[in-house]
Structure 1
Amino acid sequence: MATVLDEVPLVSMAEQANDPDGFARKFGQSFRRFGFAMVADHGVPQDLIDRAWSMTKAFFDLPEQEKRAYFVEGGGGARGYTPFKTEIAKGAQHVDLKEFWHVGRELAKGHRFEKDMAANIWPDRPEGFRETFLELFQAFDDAGDRLLSAIARYLGLQPDWFDRAVRDGNSVLRLLHYPPVAADAPEVRAGAHEDINLITLLLGAEEAGLELLDRDGRWLPVKPPEGAMVVNVGDMLQRLTNHYLPSTTHRVVNPPVERRGTPRYSMPFFLHPAPDFLIETLPSTITEANPNRYPEPITAHDYLFERLVEIGLIKK
């Protein structure tokens, strides 16, 4: 079975400092063709990643009752804990076989986005959880800024074009746990879906299961080399670029029977713009062959709300 790595080259962010245009071209071409890329040398320190994995496992090992104390009823899963079998992919029949925790941006008291971005919730255990994940959030944020700069270059924009869009952005770090699944489980761990945000940076795809839908209808397994990151286009970037950069459908399938008893963990960072950022089609992506699909612009906040209703995290 073909895997993504057979068809997509691994790009190294180490090249970005010396050859920003060359890196932008390789990274952008991967986004243009597949809607995702595999990135090595992303700059998130390995010791921080290791600490984060150990904290993630320790938290999800806590008793169910203790975890549920951090679930905010009616909070749309924005912060804290979301229990097993809550989220459902748009249009899916079965709920996803996962539980997760959300960390957002820490805002100063009285910040103008305070009403749009919920305050973080922190568990009492494991010790050091807050410090570890605030540090990881910042490391992801920095890597994301560098990747958006490459996308801006690829699109013929100024390298700092996205800085204004994502300053104080509503980004979310998700800690995901897919528990062992029964041999006859009908659901997939995560149903086929597209991400809502600008780009997603993902650690933890080394454990098999993540698959991407290619243009020809094939599902390609995604298994990056150890330490590399999977990065994909979200619907906001697809909309902004008039589908020039496609938001790829992906899913997490149940493992083969012999691996059903193995849990799976992953850490996606959903990089969002600021709530008041206007998602308005870039003029350079509107052509005779590709007319403007979105003549009506929308704020990032309103777009996110619409989508959270669709996936069952917010009840209208």
Structure 2
Amino acid sequence: MADASMSLPVIDLAVWLTDPTSAASMAECRKAAQALETYSAFALRDPRVREEDNARFLDMMEDYFAQPTAAKQRDARPEYGYQVGVTPELTEVPRCGRDAACQQHVAAYPPEHRPAAFDAPDPKWRFFWRIGPTPPTTQFAQLNADAVVPAAFPSWRAVMDGWGQSMTDAVAAAAQMLAVGWGLPRDAILERTRYGPHLLAPTGADLTVYGAEGTVLAGFHTDLNLLTIHGKSRFPGLHVWTRDGRKLPARVPDGCLLVQAGKQIEYMTAGEVHAGFHEVVVGPATREAMARQQARGRPLWRVSSTLFFHTASDQLLEPLGPFKTRYEARRNQVPVTFPPLLAGHQVAAELGLINLTTTTTS
């Protein structure tokens, strides 16, 4: 059972945007860094982000996912590891189901904090839409492929680019705050994301089929990218785990976004920040939201408002600054190592482990 009494820290981006050098801003940066170390996540309040843009995006994606299967299948690009266009339901599998170390990790949780089953493919669709410029040259063309634009949605590009850029701007500022909070140069993290394969990545789950209480829509997993940012979904069901193994409902205050740590920030901090585990499961609050959605006359599809913020594919992934110093001092005493690795190789390996490509090693 999730600990409903706890909530994630809220980071006020307005303080940073007003004056990044002020004492209040420095305190907020330290708060963000500590939150990511403790919870692997935090809520982010960005006064520039408009909820009406999120609503417009969710409306369009509900209509997209509610199309017939054949119409959506035309937008799939398996030859690119589904890194553009649509990924059909029952394609992606939670990595933890293939990872013995992760399963041992779960077994150590108290029973009330263990996740739901994660040994089956996820019954969710996903759409990947590139945000930001593609690199002028890259070793990883598969991770930087041309966009897919669904034929039936004339406003697709404007809606996707508009909402995606709003979330990218927010998470980019969060990356700067984190760097300052850890005593790094302000752009130490952000500069590594230039030309990254950032992906607006809404998922869609058909609740007319998968709406029974207890149904796992996205099995227990971490994200492979640097930072993940979410707008508010219309359907509750997301749970996150703190570093010490406590399960929390991801309740995000109105006017806020949710930021989570991915594998690449774990790499940059040599494991001092853990990529955040999370799952999506239909619960009583999801069922209540279904009734509200039906009353609105809208499709019963649970859509996530998600963006994956990435290190550039051709950038070297390695511990940074003081994290590297501390890692070098203890590297012979810990089982997990962080050798220098191109981010594109790390992503390719992770995609193999979740069944999106046949590649399982870098």
User: Taking structure 1 as the reference length, what is the TM-score of the superposition?
Assistant: 0.91
8 Å contact kept, 1:88–1:96: yes
Within the alignment, does 1:139 sit opposite 2:166 as a pair? yes
Question: 2:198 is matched by which residue type in structure 1?
Answer: S
- Match for residue 33 of structure 1? 38
Checking the alignment, whether the CA contact within 8 Å between 1:205 and 1:224 is kept in structure 2 is: no
Distance of aligned partners of 1:280 and 1:63 in 2 relative to their CA distance in 1, 3 Å threshold: same
Contact 1:74 1:315 in 2 (8 A): no
- Deviations along 1:78-99, whole A, 9 cap, x unmatched? 0111111111101142111211
Query: What RMSD in Å do the two structures reach over aligned CA positions?
Result: 2.5
Contact 1:206 1:223 in 2 (8 A): no
2:307 corresponds to which of 256, 262, 269: 269
Count of aligned residue pairs for this structure pair:
314
Amino acid across the alignment from 1:2:
D
Which residue is equivalent to 2:115?
none
| Partner residue, 2:318 | 280
Q: Cα deviations across residues 3-60 of structure 1 (Å, max 9, x unaligned)?
A: 37x3433222112123331221121111111110011235223332222111111111
Aligned counterpart, 1:8: 8
| Counterpart-to-counterpart distance in 1, 2:8 and 2:319 | 28
1:92-171 alignment runs, 5 A limit: 92-105=118-131, 107=133, 111-113=136-138, 115=141, 116-171=143-198
SS at match of 1:88: coil
C-alpha change, 1:257 and 1:267, in structure 2 (3 Å) is closer
Secondary structure of 2:11's match? Answer: strand
- Partners of 2:156 and 2:75 lie apart in 1 by 14
- What is the aligned-residue identity percentage? 24
Unpaired runs of 5+ residues, structure 2, are 98-117, 291-299
Distance 1:304 1:186 in 2: 31
Task: Classify 1:118/1:278 alpha carbon distance in 2 versus 1 (closer, same or farther; 3 Å).
Answer: same
Shift of 1:141: 1.8
Mapped partners of 2:66, 2:272: distance in 1: 42
Partners of 1:129 and 1:186 lie apart in 2 by 33
- Structure 1 residue 289, shift from structure 2 partner: 10
CA distance in 2, matches of 1:40, 1:287: 32
Which moves more between the two structures, 285-294 or 131-140? 285-294
Higher helix proportion (structure 1 or 2): 2
Correspondence for 1:81 among 78, 86, 97: 86
CA distances 1:252-286 after superposition (whole Å, capped 9, x unpaired): 11223981965321121110011111011124124
Report whether the alignment pairs 1:69 with 2:74. yes
Deviates more, 1:144-153 or 1:22-31: 22-31
Question: 1:51 aligns to what?
Answer: 56
Cα 1:275/1:228, change in 2 over 3 Å: same
Q: What does 1:296-311 correspond to in 2, within 5 Å?
A: 296-311=339-354
**Which of these residues, 199, 205, 208, is aligned with residue 236 of structure 2?**
208
In structure 2, what is the Cα distance between the partners aligned to 1:256 and 1:25?
36
**Cα pair distance change 1:205/1:246, threshold 3 Å:** farther
**Structure 2 partner of 1:254:** 282
Change (3 A) 1:200 1:21: same
Gaps of 5+ in 1: none
Aligned to 2:101: none
Post-superposition shift, 1:226? Answer: 2.3
Q: Give the whole-Å Cα distance in 1 for the aligned partners of 2:47 and 2:67.
A: 31
Per the TM alignment, residue 121 of structure 1 is displaced from its structure 2 partner at its CA by: 0.6
User: Are 2:11 and 2:45, in contact at CA under 8 Å, matched by a contact in 1?
Assistant: yes
Question: After the TM superposition, which of the residue ranges 79-88 and 99-108 deviates more from structure 2?
Answer: 99-108
- AA in 2 matched with 1:301: G
1:197 to 225, 234, 244: 225
**Using a 3 Å threshold, how does the CA distance of structure 1 residues 204 and 290 change in structure 2: closer, same or farther?**
farther
CA separation of 1:183/1:24 partners in 2, compared to 1, >3 Å: closer, same or farther?
A: closer
Secondary structure class of the residue paired with 1:122: coil
What amino acid does structure 1 have at the position aligned with 2:4? Answer: T
Structure 2 CA distance for partners of 1:62 and 1:183, relative to 1, 3 Å: closer
Where 1:161 maps in the other structure, the secondary structure is coil
Deviation per residue, 1:183-228 (Å, 9 max, x gap): 7688511010011111101113462211112344332111112231
**1:87 aligned partner, one-letter code:** E
Q: Which runs of 4+ in 1 moved over 4 A?
A: 181-187
Which stretch of the first structure deviates more once superposed, 297-306 or 44-53? 44-53
Cα 1:184–1:61 shift into 2, 3 Å: closer
Question: What does residue 25 of structure 2 align with?
Answer: 20
Contact kept, 8 Å, 1:10 with 1:38, in 2: the verdict is yes
Normalising by structure 2, report the TM-score: 0.80
Q: Which residue of 1 aligns with 2:109?
A: none
Paired residues of 2:234 and 2:303 also in contact (CA < 8 A): no
SS in 2 for 1:31: helix
